[in-house]
């Protein structure tokens, strides 16, 4: 059996879909569904059981689960604006630490989600080598909680026994419950559909024109393909960037969405809230050489093709959630 924490979330549910695509259905989904719409991400997926995140350790420690082949730990609070530092330490750092130690003690494959937010403003680059970990200063508490776990695993010499992924700007189906944390493509589709136009933030740096700020956008289906490869290749361990390695502008993204919707681009540049300006990233780019050197095939979808698939086959569909009939 495989366990996917955060299995009802964005990347977690997409990975369950990936497992189903490969004929794997012996999956335990661990999450906290609460009162929101996240449960909808589970519709169409095949799995054997669901458990609340607070029960997982009790089940594992008392041996109440079948033999476990791997734990894919995607569960975390991913809000970059979360202010409760104690909650983030408990939920993102301590939970991950305890789960990693349990997996290592039982010889269970452990794959976990880190984040490109650990790199901070990018001033020190985006090098995913372990020796560079001490260079980075995250800009928000979410990024710090992820960075703290990376540092802990490195200092404890445990990275040779697990695989961590620094996700860059992921977009795609099943992010609908994320509210303000949804990708700009998801938000852009709704805005263009309602108003015919799209608003982007102005730039406050002379070296970047309005809408010229750059991000490494990666389609969620490419992420799950890499995750499945890591699951199959248990000898590949350490921290790896997961982005395309090709930064694109917000203007590029906007044009891709307009094209996917068969509309002419109409972009307006608006003032960025002052509270965001000191923490705003103008450039991100994943260095992918380490993942490639490990033997992982990197056949990433272009921004235009990813936007077209997402918009036309999901966002515009009556039932936008991932299911096994969509490739």
pLDDT of residue 290: 97
Please give the structure tokens belonging to residue 20: 């189903």
| Within-domain flag for 7 | yes
In whole angstroms, give the CA distance from residue 112 to residue 97.
11
pLDDT in tens, 164-177: 999 999 999 999 99
Burial of 144 (0-12, 13-18, 19+ CB in 10 A): buried
**Mean pLDDT value of segment 137-142:** 91
Residue 107, domain member (yes or no): yes
Domain assignment of residue 272, yes or no:
no
User: Is the residue at 141 inside a domain?
Assistant: yes
Looking up residue 232, the CATH number of its domain turns out to be 3.40.50.720
Is residue 48 in some structural domain? yes
Asked if the structure places residue 274 within a domain, the reply is no
Residue 18 within any structural domain of the chain: yes
Look at residue 42 and tell me whether its pLDDT is greater than 90: yes
The residue with tokens 């202010």 is 83
Q: How many domains does the chain have?
A: 1
- SS3 assignment, position 109: strand
Q: Which domain holds residue 111?
A: 2-172+217-245+285-300
Whether residue 222 lies inside any domain: the answer is yes
- 188: DSSP letter: H
Contact partners, residue 169, CB within 8 Å, separation at least 6: 116, 183, 215, 216, 217, 218, 243, 284
Q: Which of 85, 201, 205, 91 minimizes the C-alpha distance to 138?
A: 85
Which residues are within 8 A (CB) of 57 and not within 5 positions of it... i.e. 6 or more apart? 98, 99, 102
CA distance 2 to 68: 6
Q: Which of 40, 69, 178, 182 is catalytic?
A: 178
Average pLDDT, integer, range 299-323: 94
| Whether the Cβ atoms of residue 167 and residue 223 lie closer than 8 Å to each other | yes
Determine contact, residues 11/221, Cβ cutoff 8 Å.
no
Rounded distance between C-alpha atoms, residue 213 and residue 120, angstroms: 15
What is the structure's pLDDT at 83? 84
Given this model, what pLDDT does residue 93 score?
A: 94
At 324, is the pLDDT very low, low, confident or very high (cuts 50, 70, 90)?
low
Task: Name the packing angle between helices 220-232 and 303-310 (round to 10°).
Answer: 100
Q: Annotated catalytic, 35? A: no
Beta-carbon count within 10 A of 92 CB: 24
The answer to whether residue 282 is catalytic is no
- Report d(CA 95, CA 204) in Å as an integer: 38
Are the C-beta atoms of residues 211 and 161 closer than 8 Å to each other? no
**Among the options 2, 95, 136, 142, which is catalytic?**
142
The tokens for 299 are 């056949």
For residues 16-30, average pLDDT: 97
Residue showing tokens 């361990």: 237
pLDDT tens readout for residues 281-307: 899 999 999 999 999 998 999 999 999
């Amino acid at each position: 059996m495989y366990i996917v924490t955060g299995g009802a979330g964005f990347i977690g549910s997409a990975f369950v879909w990936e497992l189903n695509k490969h004929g794997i259905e012996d999956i335990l989904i661990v999450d906290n569904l609460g009162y929101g719409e996240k449960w909808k991400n589970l519709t169409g997926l095949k799995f054997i059981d669901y458990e609340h995140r607070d029960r997982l350790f009790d089940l594992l420690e008392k041996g109440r689960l079948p033999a476990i082949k791997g734990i894919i730990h995607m569960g975390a609070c991913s809000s970059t604006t979360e202010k409760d530092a104690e909650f983030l330490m408990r939920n993102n750092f301590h939970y991950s630490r305890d789960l990693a130690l349990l997996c290592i003690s039982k010889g269970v494959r452990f794959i976990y989600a880190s984040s490109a937010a650990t790199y901070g403003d990018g001033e020190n680059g985006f090098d995913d080598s372990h020796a560079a970990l001490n260079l980075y200063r995250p800009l928000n508490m979410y990024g710090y909680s992820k960075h703290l776990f990376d540092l802990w695993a490195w200092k404890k010499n445990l990275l040779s026994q697990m695989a961590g992924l620094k996700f860059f700007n992921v977009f795609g189906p099943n992010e609908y419950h994320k509210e303000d944390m949804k990708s700009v493509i998801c938000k852009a589709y709704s805005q263009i559909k309602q108003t015919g136009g799209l608003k982007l933030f102005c730039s406050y740096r002379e070296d970047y024109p309005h809408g010229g700020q750059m991000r490494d956008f990666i389609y969620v289906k490419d992420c799950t393909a890499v995750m499945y490869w890591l699951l199959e290749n248990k000898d590949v361990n350490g921290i790896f960037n997961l982005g395309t390695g090709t930064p694109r502008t917000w203007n590029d993204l906007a044009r891709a969405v307009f094209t996917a919707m068969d509309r002419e681009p109409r972009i307006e540049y608006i003032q960025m809230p002052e509270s965001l300006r000191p923490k705003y990233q103008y450039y991100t780019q994943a260095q992918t050489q380490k993942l490639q050197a490990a033997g992982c095939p990197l056949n990433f979808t272009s921004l235009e093709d990813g936007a077209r698939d997402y918009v036309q086959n999901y966002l515009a569909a009556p039932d936008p959630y991932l299911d096994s009939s969509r490739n």
